[in-house]
């Protein structure tokens, strides 16, 4: 049998190395084989585990380096704090979880079996105190009769108050595996998209064959491999393909694929989920194998891969056997033992016993011998299979089952075996390699509610109905032998290429013999052994969550008979390994307890992600200040230069106020800005308001149907305020609309609703009234639009506009809108509208001139003390004027509530008209917008405070509304508010109670006309 780890060339090289520097690094790697392995002995790496300095080689995982260094005890289990070693050699590992790195990069629950070793790696065992060897928590194991399944539900029930104060904090301290760093992740993460004809998941014999066939045919192929090395089990097993060793063939295949421009090979990339339409999620660990990511590179990259076809070649996972004492360090998966010997040249122990119910386990015995180890015994309830009769000559073979284990804290010393004649013998050994058969990795193929189906022949579930476009090949399909893997992978790849429309030749499939893979199901060893009985050894099903076979039976007796209930009650399969080694054993034991067949019991539902994915990878670049895209209005740079304070309004950054050096707080700045406008002139960038060009022959008729009031009658050159309802009768948005030409309206929306209103108008145009000729274009970003307001507005603008323009009250009356020329040759739009209640215009120029507009307004208004103002002053002035805004247009107010009832046309259909007429929305005690001023001018109002009748008892039945918008009015010299209060309009003058328990507010105030300032509106028309 060819053996990749012990090929003659490798052996010779290793011998030469050993002769050259005897024991050079061997001192700390006592269990490293002298030769072989796919590690780079020229690149020694140093690392620490629990503070102890150790070494390994490039190509090692942390687990293989620990094993090579003779470390047996690696972790403590979750519930009982039992000593645990390395069980597997892959991502299914339940035991060997460590905290990796330190400081901000600390990462708990890292699987030592997948952590690629790097120089300077720092790893720490977790879930133990004070140390791995002396763990106080291990007392839980002694108390295990208390910690039965459902323990939390049963124990921490009474008294009810104790949960929050006592139980939960205590449990939270004790539970959880590793600890988080508690500081922000210093690395960055990316997201990216990829597209292909064929996605191949897994690079074992099936995956490589699929990629080769499709790649040769010309298909765009993406090959994802979870490991840092491609080849899958070809790296671990002594196979022969096309007359070469499996590893050599794999290298040849990889070289061929790497030479194809249409093939993208992605190592260190885990496909974690399959989604609708052939979209797959994958995480590429770009920098996880480095002490820290390379400069300009992310730590991890989240891929969304869109694939026309997918070949799932993710292989199979070996199943543990359930027997007393099966969790002791030194008990390992048989396939993992081969991986450590062959791929990593790391020996888990010298004397190896094998306990298997299938042919594959016997190959571990062969690998142990080939690596110079000793076979303590091969234990198989079936006796010697025919295929191994020759090879096993001279081996100690016991037809029986392991019924107990003995050992120290970190090593196995012997196992107890019950043989077929009823005797119990002790077999001294330092490793027990176990194999309960192989479970196809059905995760990916079972998404979209596919249910795996039972296959007796291999005693495992195989994929059932797969997601559209996905084919399973090789071991993942339950066809475990090498020849089948190569053939199926090839066929699936070739077929995918044809389906993608490619006609190139896929070449020839690789050939290999089909090795024996026979199995006889063995779910749980029940024969009693002396050691097992005496010590009351537990037989573990889920190693990570410490769920035993007895727990499964207890849960079943207590009525948790559905596999979904069993899972949640016992937490079987809910740990970070998601039950990859435990689920099938668990449900087989459940089926037996229920007296059912396994397929009747069934599996739980599979959902992505099938391996844990860091939240940081899902967030990608969207964190901190890049959480979402930012929009900057045209005057942003100008405002920043003036030292404006900015506020986030949706995605926009808007100037909130412009502080002067001497001002001690924001209120002082805002009061100055308000008074400057009221007494002189100021300007504010209002470009963030949504702007929509509505054009077409039916533009007027269209607007009549979406607004409560009429726009077809609006004269060209005029603006009108409008309110839009939703079809359910509530207010959607408001804004002014100007008619710039017969078939051209310029609609403005609130800043927040620009997008939703556009979507709504498109719906009306395309879905409701396709007969109308209307075209819509967003013009929000096209115009730098500033509000210029205050007594001196006309004086300022006169300096800026072309002398030929008439801005007088007659020449440019209130609510006029038209194009004007500005000095310096600029074209502009001017709208005489006012939000502040002062004489005001909005002026708009093309956005590229927004900075210049600000400069020029400053210049034109210098003589009048022109003052730029921000959103706070804007808000203060609109509250003083009683204008409803976002806080009042809150989605559950009607036009009537806001005082626009009379605007609702009765001569036409419009969106929301009928529903707005419903009786409930006409009730006289609906909330209405009202003004509020405290009786004591020193009292400070705050938004959200409740309004109750004077002297009312506190309670929800006396609550009559709340304050929606609050500001300090510098004109009135007091805090004022707008509120939505039941029957508010009829109650002007009434004294009410303002109650704000969160901020200690409880005082009296008077309800009043919401227009606090210039209620006649003389100023804005002046």
| C-alpha 476, offset from chain centre | 27
Give the interface segment with other proteins, choosing from 507-515, 694-702, 894-902, 958-966 (CB under 8 A).
Answer: 694-702
Paired residues of 820 in beta bridges: 828
State which of residues 850, 870, 934, 961 lies at the interface with other proteins (CB under 8 A): 850
What SS3 class is residue 619?
helix
Contacts (CB under 8 A) with other proteins, residues 621-660: 621, 626, 628-634, 637, 651-652
| CB atoms closer than 10 angstroms to residue 599 | 15
> What does the H/E/C string look like for 948-1007?
EECCCCCCCCCCCEEEEEEEEECCCCEEEEEEEEECHHHHCCCEEEEEEHHHCEEEEEEE
**Does position 847 bind other proteins by CB under 8 A?**
yes
Largest CA distance in the chain: 116
Cα 614 from Cα 112, distance rounded (Å): 17
DSSP 505: -
**Which of 642, 913, 983, 1021: binder of other proteins (CB under 8 A)?**
913
Nearer to other proteins, 620 or 886 (CB): 620
x/- map, 310-349, other proteins, by CB under 8 A: ----------------------------------------
CB of 817 to other proteins, least distance (A): 17
Nearest 10 degrees: CA dihedral of 283, 285, 288, 290? Answer: -170
Tokens encoding 338: 């081969």
The answer to whether the Cα torsion of 1010, 1012, 1017, 1021 is positive or negative is negative
Least distance (Å) from other proteins to the CB of residue 900? 17
Among 338-346, 354-362, 760-768, 955-963, which window interacts with other proteins (CB under 8 A)? 760-768
> Least distance in Å: CB of 645 to other proteins?
19
The interface region with other proteins, picked from 199-207, 620-628, 809-817, 829-837 by CB under 8 A, is 620-628
Exposure of 556 in the CB half-sphere (CA atoms within 13 A): 19
Both structure tokens of 548: 């035993």
Return d(Cα 934, Cα 994) in angstroms, integer: 9
Q: How far is the CB of 767 from other proteins (least distance, A)?
A: 4
Among 408, 713, 775, 922, binds other proteins (CB under 8 A): 775
Which residues are paired to 111 by β-bridges? 97
Contact between residue 636 and residue 644 where contact means Cβ atoms under 8 Å apart: no
In the list 860, 879, 945, 981, the residue contacting other proteins (rule: CB under 8 A) is 860
Contact status: 765 vs other proteins (CB under 8 A)? yes
Residues 263-282 that bind other proteins (CB under 8 A): 275-279
542-553 residues labelled b (16+ CB within 10 A) or e (exposed):
bbbbbbbbebbb
Does 859 interact with other proteins (rule: CB under 8 A)?
yes
**Least distance between other proteins and beta carbon 638 (Å):** 9
Shorter beta-carbon distance to other proteins: residue 137 or 755: 755
**Is position 852 an interface residue for other proteins (rule: CB under 8 A)?**
yes
Dihedral through CA 396, CA 400, CA 403, CA 404, nearest 10? 0
- Which span sits near other proteins by CB under 8 A: 245-253, 780-788, 864-872, 996-1004? 780-788
Least distance between other proteins and beta carbon 847 (Å): 4
842, 833 Cβ separation under 8 angstroms: yes
Q: How far is the CB of 117 from other proteins (least distance, A)?
A: 24
How far apart, in Å, are the Cα atoms of 525 and each of 182, 322, 403, 518, 899?
44, 6, 7, 19, 79
Task: Select from 88-96, 542-550, 768-776, 984-992 the region that touches other proteins (CB under 8 A).
Answer: 768-776
Least distance CB 187 / other proteins (angstroms): 13
Residue 771 CB, shortest distance to other proteins, in Å, is 8
- Identify the DSSP state of 346: B
> Which residue among 25, 105, 191, 244 contacts other proteins (CB under 8 A)?
191
Can residue 783 be called a binding residue for other proteins (CB under 8 A)?
yes
Site pattern 824..843 for other proteins (x: CB under 8 A): xxxx----------------
Q: Are strands 438-440 and 316-318 parallel, antiparallel or unpaired?
A: antiparallel
CB under 8 A: which stretch of 171-179, 355-363, 693-701, 993-1001 binds other proteins?
A: 693-701
Give the three-state DSSP class for 251.
helix
Smallest distance from other proteins to CB 869, Å: 20
The closest of 57, 27, 59, 30 to 44, measured between CA atoms, is 57
Site for other proteins in 201-260 (CB under 8 A): 220
The number of residues in the chain equals: 1022
DSSP H or E stretch at residue 434:
strand 431-435
Which residue, 26 or 650, has its beta carbon nearer to other proteins? 650
> Which region among 521-529, 571-579, 751-759, 864-872 touches other proteins (by CB under 8 A)?
751-759
Q: Which stretch binds other proteins (CB under 8 A): 91-99, 156-164, 599-607, 849-857?
A: 849-857
- Comparison of 679 and 852: residue with beta carbon closer to other proteins: 852
Bridge partners, 193 (sequence order): 304
Q: Are strands 438-440 and 744-749 parallel, antiparallel or unpaired?
A: unpaired
Q: Give 668's contacts (C-beta < 8 A, 6+ positions apart).
A: none
Minimum CB–partner distance for residue 760 and other proteins (Å): 10
The span of 343-351, 414-422, 755-763, 789-797 binding other proteins (CB under 8 A) equals: 755-763
Write each residue from 458 to 497 as x if it is in contact with other proteins (CB under 8 A), else as -, in one continuous string: ----------x-----------------------------
User: Mask of contacts with other proteins, 889-908, x by CB under 8 A?
Assistant: -----------------xxx
Judged by CB, which is closer to other proteins: 389, or 628?
Answer: 628
Residue with smaller CB distance to other proteins, 871 or 964: 871
The span from the CA of 609 to the CA of 107, in Å, is 19
Tell me whether residue 79 or residue 636 sits nearer to other proteins (CB atom).
636
Angstrom distance (rounded) from CA 417 to CA 403: 6
Closest CB to other proteins among residues 443, 850: 850
CB of 811 to other proteins, least distance (A): 19
3-class DSSP state of 51: coil
Residues 6+ apart with CB under 8 A from 1019: 791, 837, 838, 839
Residues 930-989 that bind other proteins (CB under 8 A): none
Smallest gap from Cβ 651 to other proteins, in A, equals 8
Question: Interaction with other proteins in 389-448: which residues (CB under 8 A)?
Answer: 448
186 lies in the binding site for other proteins (CB under 8 A): no
Q: Cβ 827 to other proteins, closest distance in Å?
A: 7
Query: Which burial class, exposed, middle or buried, applies to 453 when counting CB atoms under 10 A from its CB (0-12, 13-18, 19+)?
Result: middle
Is the CB of 349 or the CB of 450 nearer to other proteins? 450
Helices (H), 298-437: 334-342, 359-370
**From residue 800 to residue 819, what is the string marking binding to other proteins with x (rule CB under 8 A)?**
x-------------------
Total residues at the site for other proteins (CB under 8 A)?
Answer: 93
Rounded to an integer, what distance in angstroms lies between the CA atom of residue 122 and that of residue 920?
67
Q: Report the first-to-last Cα separation within the chain, whole angstroms.
A: 102
Contact code string over 286-305 relative to other proteins, x by CB under 8 A: --------xxxx------x-
DSSP for 857-877, please give it: HHHHTGGGT-EE--HHHHHHH
**Contacts with other proteins, 708-747, as mask; x by CB under 8 A:** -------------------xx--------------xx---
Rounded Cα distance between 425 and 531, Å, is 11
Crossing angle of helices 583-594/563-570, nearest 10°? 120
């Amino acid at each position: 049998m060819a053996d990749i780890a012990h090929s003659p060339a490798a052996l010779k090289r290793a011998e030469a190395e050993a002769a050259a520097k005897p024991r050079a690094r061997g001192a700390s790697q006592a269990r490293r084989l002298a030769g072989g392995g796919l590690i780079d002995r020229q690149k020694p790496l140093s690392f620490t585990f629990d503070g102890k300095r150790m070494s390994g080689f490039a190509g090692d995982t942390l687990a293989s380096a620990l094993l090579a260094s003779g470390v047996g005890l690696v972790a403590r289990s979750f519930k009982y704090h039992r000593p645990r070693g390395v069980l597997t050699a892959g991502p299914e590992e339940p035991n060997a979880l460590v905290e990796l790195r330190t400081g901000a990069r600390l990462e708990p629950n890292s699987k030592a079996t997948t952590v690629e070793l790097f120089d300077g790696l720092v790893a720490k065992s977790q879930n133990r105190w004070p140390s791995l060897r002396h763990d106080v928590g291990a007392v839980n194991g002694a108390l295990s009769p208390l910690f039965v399944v459902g323990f939390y539900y049963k124990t921490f029930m009474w008294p009810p108050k104790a949960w929050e104060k006592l139980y939960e904090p205590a449990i939270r301290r004790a539970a959880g595996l590793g600890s988080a760093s508690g500081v922000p992740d210093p690395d960055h993460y990316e997201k990216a998209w990829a597209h292909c004809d064929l996605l191949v998941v897994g690079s074992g014999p099936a995956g490589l064959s699929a990629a080769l066939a499709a790649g040769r045919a010309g298909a765009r192929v993406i090959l994802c491999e979870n490991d840092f090395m491609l080849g899958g089990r070809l790296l671990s097993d002594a196979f022969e393909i096309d007359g070469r060793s499996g590893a050599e063939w794999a290298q040849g295949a990889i070289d061929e694929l790497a030479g194809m421009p249409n093939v993208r090979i992605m190592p260190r990339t885990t496909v974690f989920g399959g989604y609708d339409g052939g979209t797959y999620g994958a995480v590429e660990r770009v920098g996880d194998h480095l002490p820290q990511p390379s400069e300009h590179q992310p730590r991890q990259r989240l891929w969304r891969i869109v694939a026309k076809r997918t070949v799932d070649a993710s292989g199979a996972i070996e199943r543990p056997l359930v027997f007393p004492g099966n969790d002791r360090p030194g008990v390992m998966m048989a396939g993992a033992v081969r991986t450590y010997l062959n791929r990593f040249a790391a020996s888990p122990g010298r004397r190896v016993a094998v306990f298997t119910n299938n042919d594959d386990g016997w190959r571990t015995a062969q690998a142990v011998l080939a690596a110079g180890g000793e076979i303590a015994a091969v234990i198989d309830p079936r006796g010697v299979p025919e295929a191994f009769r020759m090879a096993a000559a001279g081996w100690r073979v016991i037809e029986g089952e392991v019924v107990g284990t003995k050992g120290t804290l970190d090593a196995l010393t012997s196992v107890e075996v019950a043989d077929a004649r009823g005797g119990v013998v002790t077999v001294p050994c330092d490793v027990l390699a176990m194999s309960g058969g192989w479970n196809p990795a059905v995760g990916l193929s079972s998404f979209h509610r596919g249910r795996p189906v039972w296959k007796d022949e291999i005693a495992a579930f195989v994929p059932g109905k797969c997601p559209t476009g996905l084919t399973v090949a090789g071991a993942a399909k339950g066809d475990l032998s090498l020849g089948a893997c190569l053939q199926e992978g090839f066929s699936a790849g070739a077929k995918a290429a044809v389906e993608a429309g490619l006609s190139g030749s896929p070449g020839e499939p690789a050939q290999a013999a089909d090795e024996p893979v026979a199995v006889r199901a063995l779910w749980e060893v029940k024969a009693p052994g002396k050691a097992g009985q005496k010590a009351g050894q537990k037989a573990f099903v889920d190693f990570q969550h410490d769920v035993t076979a007895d727990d499964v039976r207890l849960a079943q007796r207590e009525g948790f008979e559905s596999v979904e209930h069993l899972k949640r009650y016992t937490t079987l399969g809910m740990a970070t390994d998601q039950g990859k080694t435990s689920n099938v054993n668990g449900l087989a034991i459940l089926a037996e307890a229920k007296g059912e067949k396994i397929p009747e019991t069934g599996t739980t539902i599979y959902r992505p992600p099938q391996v844990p994915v860091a939240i940081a990878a899902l967030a990608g670049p969207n964190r901190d200040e890049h959480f979402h895209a930012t929009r900057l209005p045209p005057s942003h740079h100008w405002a920043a230069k003036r030292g404006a304070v900015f506020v986030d309004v949706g995605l926009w950054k808007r100037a909130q106020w412009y502080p002067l050096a001497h001002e001690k707080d924001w209120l002082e700045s805002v009061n100055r800005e308000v008074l400057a406008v009221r007494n002189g002139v100021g300007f504010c960038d209002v470009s963030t308001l949504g702007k929509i060009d509505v054009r077409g022959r039916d533009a007027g008729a269209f607007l009549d149907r979406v607004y409560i009031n009429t726009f077809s009658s609006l004269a060209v050159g005029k603006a009108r305020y409008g309110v839009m309802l939703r079809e359910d009768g509530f207010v959607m948005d408001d804004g002014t609309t100007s008619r710039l030409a017969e078939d051209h309206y310029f609609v403005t929306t609130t800043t927040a609703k620009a997008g939703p209103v556009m979507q709504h108008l498109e719906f009306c145009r395309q879905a409701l009234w396709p007969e109308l000729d209307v075209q819509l274009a967003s013009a929000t970003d096209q115009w730098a639009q500033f509000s210029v307001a205050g007594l001196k507005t006309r004086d300022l603008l006169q300096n800026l506009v072309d002398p030929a323009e008439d801005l007088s009250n007659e020449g440019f009356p209130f609510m006029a809108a038209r194009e004007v020329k500005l000095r310096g040759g600029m074209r502009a739009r001017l709208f005489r509208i006012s939000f502040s209640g002062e004489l005001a215009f909005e002026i708009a120029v093309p956005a590229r001139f927004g900075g210049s507009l600000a400069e020029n307004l400053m210049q034109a208004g210098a003589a009048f003390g022109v003052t730029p103002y921000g959103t706070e002053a804007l808000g203060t002035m609109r509250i003083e004027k009683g204008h409803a805004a976002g806080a009042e247009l809150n989605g559950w107010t009607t036009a009537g509530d806001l005082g626009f009832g009379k605007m609702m046309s009765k001569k036409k259909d419009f969106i929301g008209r009928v529903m707005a007429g419903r009786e409930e929305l006409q009730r006289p005690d609906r909330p209405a917008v009202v003004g509020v001023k405290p009786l004591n001018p020193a009292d400070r109002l705050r938004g959200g405070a409740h309004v109750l009748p004077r002297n009312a008892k506190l309670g929800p039945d006396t609550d009559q509304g709340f304050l929606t918008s609050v500001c300090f009015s510098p004109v009135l010299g007091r805090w004022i508010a707008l509120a939505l209060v039941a029957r508010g309009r009829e109650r002007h003058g009434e004294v009410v109670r303002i109650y704000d328990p969160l901020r200690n507010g409880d005082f009296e105030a008077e309800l009043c006309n919401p227009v606090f300032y210039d209620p006649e509106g003389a100023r804005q028309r002046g």
